[in-house]
Amino acid sequence: MLRRYVMVLFGMSCVTVVLIHHSANLNCPVPTRKRISTNCTEAIYRDVHVSNSDGPSTLDDIYITVRTSRKFHESRVAPIVQTWFNLARKQTYIFTDGDDDKLNETTGGHIINTHCGQEYNRPHLSCKTGTVFDKYLASGKKWWCRFDDDNYVNPPRLVNLVNGYNWTQDICIGKLSVPSYTANYRGRPEIYQFAHGGAGCCISRPLALKMQPWCGREKLVETTEDVGRHEDCTLGFIITNRLKIDLTLTDLLHSTRESLRDLNPGTLHEQVSIGQGPGNTVNLDQAKNAKIFSHDVDPTRFITLHCFLYPTSSICKA
């Protein structure tokens, strides 16, 4: 059975109700501190029916997103597309801030230009993440698992992770950044926690629906400015402070805030996500039966890691 959504579009001169299967209009103006534009439509999603509510979740029940920027398509996105993306081609979408026809063709149309701007600042990043949020809601899937462009993701292990929890409940699976943060929200100090965006996190559909008053392409820009933090912090603020939902913590998500060289190669088959950064990558030099690619060919170590986990992949025969 299918899950469908009603999207109510509010314009300056009319109200239109449509049955939606895709995202809201992505051609809104670049966000500013105030509301982006009164001409830019808003989308309100309401569950009409729950699909596939029985049985364990599959890869098709997960909307996997990668947020990046046009300048990182070659250095960060290309290694993803060469490796783990091929294990979840239908389920993974890459959100960016510039067109790339070649990469879009390679990924089968899974490159989405958010038109949010290319600066690394709160408005542009929040616009990107808010656009991803809207697109997820329109997908009808049980889980939204969001990652950055410096994450290697193991899709089968991701499925195993979310199946440890009841997707019909309010769940946010992540890795705690610090024990707590304080935000000056509308003149009042508010304590909250957040799952570090650099390690990835997964949010269940019921929780995402409750987040709508503060999320979405326009609303998340406003909320991040009210909170005074970047969007991963703000998502945590919405979840743990506004909605009073505790984070569900896991040690299977890894970001560059850790020393990735210290990860035991014997446990890599169990991990869900592993980050990479300059001078901070997974070390497989001493791993048994690992095919080691040179740093010139594989600076992110994603190809080496992928071939360690999936040695029969075509890229490993090079």
Could you list the active site residues?
232
Q: Give residue 7's Cα distance to chain centre.
A: 22
Q: How many whole angstroms separate alpha carbon 85 and alpha carbon 130? A: 22
User: Is residue 176 a contact partner of residue 254, using CB atoms and an 8 Å limit?
Assistant: no
C-alpha span between 164 and 162 (Å, rounded): 5
Which residues, in sequence order, are CB contacts of 272 under 8 Å at separation 6+?
153, 154, 157, 158, 161, 200, 250, 252, 253
Q: What Rg, from alpha-carbon coordinates, does the chain have?
A: 19
Strands 92-96 and 62-67: parallel
Q: How far is CA 62 from the centre of its chain?
A: 11
**What are residue 189's DSSP bridge partners?**
184
Rounded CA gap, 3 and 139, in Å?
Answer: 9
3-state secondary structure of 168: coil
Residue 36 tokens, joined: 């982006």
